[in-house]
């Protein structure tokens, strides 16, 4: 394998299209492919649940099976495999653990996922794939870095392997009675005694991953910072602060092939950028299908989510009637806490023409809602990354979001002074702030010139995996130490994070610079940071980064390499490149 190209084993408890309960499945189902496109040899491993559709089971081939020990238990471990969209996928087979009615709601889930984590490590010498990096995800795989540190790293076969642990949602930690650390995981008592795997007197799988992985990532830069505070830290902020040097945020992407308005067969009418009429045809279709008043001019707000407190549903409840008074229609798809399901079902009776409540999981309907809605509401209390706003962008649907986590990093609030922005947002977790933001969005919906511009703009955004996959590549290379890559320690400030404030009124100093510009451009290979900082749109922070980049990577060979500098995306580059020369 070429230098810089790594062997990666991506380990997750769910992955689209095999099994999905939430965003983790989207990530595990699309990031490996993007990493393969970066040139890595990437394999995915998930449990072989009963719920995986037969059409996939029929395609699986047996790789191996043997018996292994889970603490004192003698258990069967089978490994099956298929290749999906170019990604080799291994399935850990053990009927006792995974042939169940539910994938997560089992009394012995600590044992199920201890088995899964250990099985992944045990299968490696047998399946003929030795990864450079094992990339584990969320609490279900939290035991993996712990087991690795406890008894695998010491063996010569495993010693060079590095572990990465990604937190997709810190709220779900996997907390169990302490005796399981010996009884199920079979790890040495000092891990418990040191507090590394213990939180509030319970064995904590999430904390195990955090404390023992070589590097921890989470799914947006904002969330990486937020979870180190007590408000967002879910009790583990101190552990994350301890590991702050090894923690970074890398924004999720989405599959631009799967969520493609031009080709998605689930849509009533497929459409491309600029075809706003066809988008409206999707709205009319979904209005008809859901029994709403059919009117292409009415704003339609979509909401597709797990119906849980995290998603801001108490705000929606608090001002529900006022939301309906804005004249918008509301289309809800989701399942979750009974309190919310019951509330929306009751409201449906009050607003039969303008509210459609669908308490179910339905991927096809979800696509139709993304495509047919004008706005997509996400008033989350916290949101590690959030995928729905990215899917909405793809379908020309404008997100209305609370500024937290990944929502903060991806949605730029519409600014009527400058005309900039990609959505509508509010900062405080407050029902009336949310309501005013919805009202504002509806008022702009009625200004067709502005709205259509917004729709076209968001359809042109690029939240595919490409940018993020490059950041993971950089991380893998850094960890395995074959390149002196500078790790983006605190995260992901690529072009996707376009929330950079650039004052409209130019500072006086710029007048001078403009004159300079006419006579002489500034050289990115020679200029000091202070000279670069003078230029409009650069400022101190970017000037520093450009100079640091140059110091670490040598002179720029072409101007467009500026986009490799942290935080300088295509847009920013276009703005500043005119002022610069090599």
The pair of three-digit structure tokens given for residue 553, joined into one six-digit string: 């990577």
- Which helix (H) or strand (E) segment holds residue 79: the answer is strand 73-84
Q: In this structure, is the dihedral angle defined by the CA atoms of residues 375, 377, 382 and 387, taken in order, positive or negative?
A: negative
Phi, psi of 2 (to 5 degrees): -65, 150
CB of 168 to ligand ADP, least distance (A): 7
CB of 332 to ligand ADP, least distance (A): 9
SS3 call for 65: strand
**Which range of residues in 5-13, 235-243, 360-368, 511-519 is near ligand ADP by CB under 6 A?**
360-368
Q: Is residue 313 near ligand ADP by the rule CB under 6 A?
A: no
**Residue partners of 278: CB distance under 8 A and separation at least 6:** 269, 270, 271
Q: Is residue 17 near ligand ADP by the rule CB under 6 A?
A: no
Q: Is residue 361 near ligand ADP by the rule CB under 6 A?
A: yes
The position carrying tokens 């949101």 is: 383
**Residue partners of 177: CB distance under 8 A and separation at least 6:** 202, 203
Site string for ligand ADP, 394-413 (x = CB under 6 A): --------------------
Neighbours of 558 (CB within 10 A): 7
Determine the residue with CB nearest ligand ADP.
23
SS3 call for 14: coil
Q: Is residue 218 near ligand ADP by the rule CB under 6 A?
A: no
CB of 400 to ligand ADP, least distance (A): 14
Would you say 19 and 52 are in contact if contact means Cβ atoms under 8 Å apart? Answer: yes
Q: Is residue 312 near ligand ADP by the rule CB under 6 A?
A: no
**Which range of residues in 267-275, 277-285, 294-302, 359-367 is near ligand ADP by CB under 6 A?**
359-367
d(C-alpha 373, C-alpha 265), whole Å: 17
**Which range of residues in 281-289, 379-387, 437-445, 559-567 is near ligand ADP by CB under 6 A?**
379-387
- Taking phi over 0 as left and psi of -120 to 50 as alpha, with beta for the rest, 165 belongs to beta
CB of 525 to ligand ADP, least distance (A): 42
Nearest C-alpha neighbor of 436 from the set 427, 444, 426, 445: 426
Neighbours of 206 (CB within 10 A): 27
Residue 566, annotated as binding a ligand? no
Nearest C-alpha neighbor of 337 from the set 302, 304, 309: 309
Q: Is residue 4 near ligand ADP by the rule CB under 6 A?
A: no
**Which range of residues in 50-58, 304-312, 456-464, 514-522 is near ligand ADP by CB under 6 A?**
304-312
Secondary structure of 410-433 as H, E, C letters:
HCCECCCCCCCCCEEEECCCCHHH
d(C-alpha 223, C-alpha 286), whole Å: 34
CB of 78 to ligand ADP, least distance (A): 29
Q: Is residue 363 near ligand ADP by the rule CB under 6 A?
A: yes
Which residue, 26 or 132, has its beta carbon nearer to ligand ADP? 26
Q: Which of 227, 366, 400, 543 binds ligand ADP (CB under 6 A)?
A: 366
Q: Is residue 302 near ligand ADP by the rule CB under 6 A?
A: no
CB of 340 to ligand ADP, least distance (A): 12
Q: Which of 15, 92, 250, 387 binds ligand ADP (CB under 6 A)?
A: 387
CB of 389 to ligand ADP, least distance (A): 8
Which residue, 190 or 360, has its beta carbon nearer to ligand ADP? 360
Binders of ligand ADP: how many residues, by CB under 6 A? Answer: 18
Q: What angle do CA 463, 464, 469 make, to 5 degrees?
A: 110
Q: Which of 141, 305, 329, 425 binds ligand ADP (CB under 6 A)?
A: 305
The position carrying tokens 């995986």 is: 52
Would you say 266 and 367 are in contact if contact means Cβ atoms under 8 Å apart? Answer: yes
Q: Is residue 464 near ligand ADP by the rule CB under 6 A?
A: no
Q: Is residue 15 near ligand ADP by the rule CB under 6 A?
A: no
Site string for ligand ADP, 115-154 (x = CB under 6 A): ----------------------------------------
**Residue partners of 470: CB distance under 8 A and separation at least 6:** 38
Which residue, 158 or 256, has its beta carbon nearer to ligand ADP? 256
Which residue, 367 or 534, has its beta carbon nearer to ligand ADP? 367
The pair of three-digit structure tokens given for residue 62, joined into one six-digit string: 């047996």
Q: Is residue 335 near ligand ADP by the rule CB under 6 A?
A: yes
Q: Is residue 548 near ligand ADP by the rule CB under 6 A?
A: no
Would you say 262 and 233 are in contact if contact means Cβ atoms under 8 Å apart? Answer: no
CB of 404 to ligand ADP, least distance (A): 12
Q: How far is CA 150 from the centre of its chain?
A: 30
- The answer, yes or no, to whether the previous bond of 293 is cis (omega within 30 of 0) is no
- Contacts (CB under 6 A) with ligand ADP, residues 21-80: 22-23, 26
Residues that bind ligand ADP (CB under 6 A): 22-23, 26, 169, 304-306, 333-335, 361-363, 366, 385-388
Binding residues: 20
């Amino acid at each position: 394998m070429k230098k810089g190209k790594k062997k990666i084993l991506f380990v997750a408890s769910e992955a689209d299209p095999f099994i999905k309960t939430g965003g983790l499945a989207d990530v595990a189902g699309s990031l490996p492919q993007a990493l393969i496109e970066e040139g890595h040899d990437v394999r995915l491993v998930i449990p072989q649940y009963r719920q995986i559709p037969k059409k996939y089971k029929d395609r699986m081939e047996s790789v191996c099976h043997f018996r292994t020990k889970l603490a004192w238990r003698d258990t069967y471990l089978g490994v099956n495999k298929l290749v999906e969209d170019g990604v080799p996928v291994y399935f850990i087979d053990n009927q006792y653990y995974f042939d169940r009615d539910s994938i997560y709601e089992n009394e012995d889930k600590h044992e199920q996922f201890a088995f899964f984590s250990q099985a992944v490590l045990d299968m490696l010498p047998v399946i003929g794939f030795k990864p450079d990096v094992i990339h584990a995800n969320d609490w279900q795989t939290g035991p993996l870095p712990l087991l690795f540190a406890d008894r695998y790293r010491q063996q010569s076969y495993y010693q060079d392997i590095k572990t990465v642990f990604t937190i997709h949602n810190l709220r779900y930690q996997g907390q169990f009675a302490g005796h399981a650390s010996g009884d199920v995981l079979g790890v040495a008592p000092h891990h418990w005694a040191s507090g590394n795997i213990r939180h509030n007197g319970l064995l904590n799988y999430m904390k195990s991953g955090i404390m023992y992985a070589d590097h921890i990532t989470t799914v947006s830069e904002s969330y990486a910072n937020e979870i180190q505070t007590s408000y967002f830290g879910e009790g583990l902020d101190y552990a994350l602060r301890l590991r702050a040097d090894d923690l970074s945020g890398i924004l999720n992407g989405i599959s631009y092939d799967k969520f493609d308005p031009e080709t998605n067969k689930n849509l009533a009418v497929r459409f491309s950028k600029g075809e706003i009429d066809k988008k409206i045809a999707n709205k009319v279709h979904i209005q008809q299908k859901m029994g709403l008043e059919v009117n292409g001019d009415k704003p339609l707000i979509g909401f597709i989510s797990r119906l849980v407190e995290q998603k801001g549903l108490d705000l929606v409840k608090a001002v529900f009637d006022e939301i309906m008074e804005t004249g918008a229609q509301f289309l809800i798809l989701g399942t979750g806490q009974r309190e919310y399901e019951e509330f929306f079902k009751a409201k449906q009776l009050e607003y039969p023409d303008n509210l459609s409540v669908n308490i179910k999981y339905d991927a096809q309907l979800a696509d139709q809602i993304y495509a047919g809605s004008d706005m997509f509401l996400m008033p989350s209390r916290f949101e590690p990354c959030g995928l729905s706003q990215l899917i909405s962008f793809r379908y020309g649907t404008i997100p209305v979001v609370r500024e937290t986590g990944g929502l903060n990093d991806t949605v730029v609030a519409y600014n009527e002074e400058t005309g900039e922005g990609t959505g509508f947002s509010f900062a405080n977790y407050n029902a009336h702030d949310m309501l005013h933001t919805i009202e504002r969005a509806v008022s702009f919906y009625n200004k067709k010139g502005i709205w259509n511009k917004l729709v076209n703009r968001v359809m042109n955004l690029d939240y595919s995996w490409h940018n993020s996959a490059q950041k993971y590549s950089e991380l893998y290379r850094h960890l395995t130490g074959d390149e002196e890559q500078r790790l983006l320690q605190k995260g992901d400030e690529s072009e996707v994070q376009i929330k950079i404030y650039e004052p409209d009124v130019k500072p006086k100093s710029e007048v001078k610079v403009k004159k300079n510009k006419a006579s002489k451009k500034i050289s990115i290979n020679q200029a000091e940071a202070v000279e670069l900082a003078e230029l409009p749109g650069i400022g101190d922070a970017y000037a520093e980064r450009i100079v640091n980049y140059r110091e670490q990577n040598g002179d720029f060979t072409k101007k467009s390499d500026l986009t490799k500098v942290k935080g300088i995306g295509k847009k920013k580059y276009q703005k500043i490149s005119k002022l610069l020369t090599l």
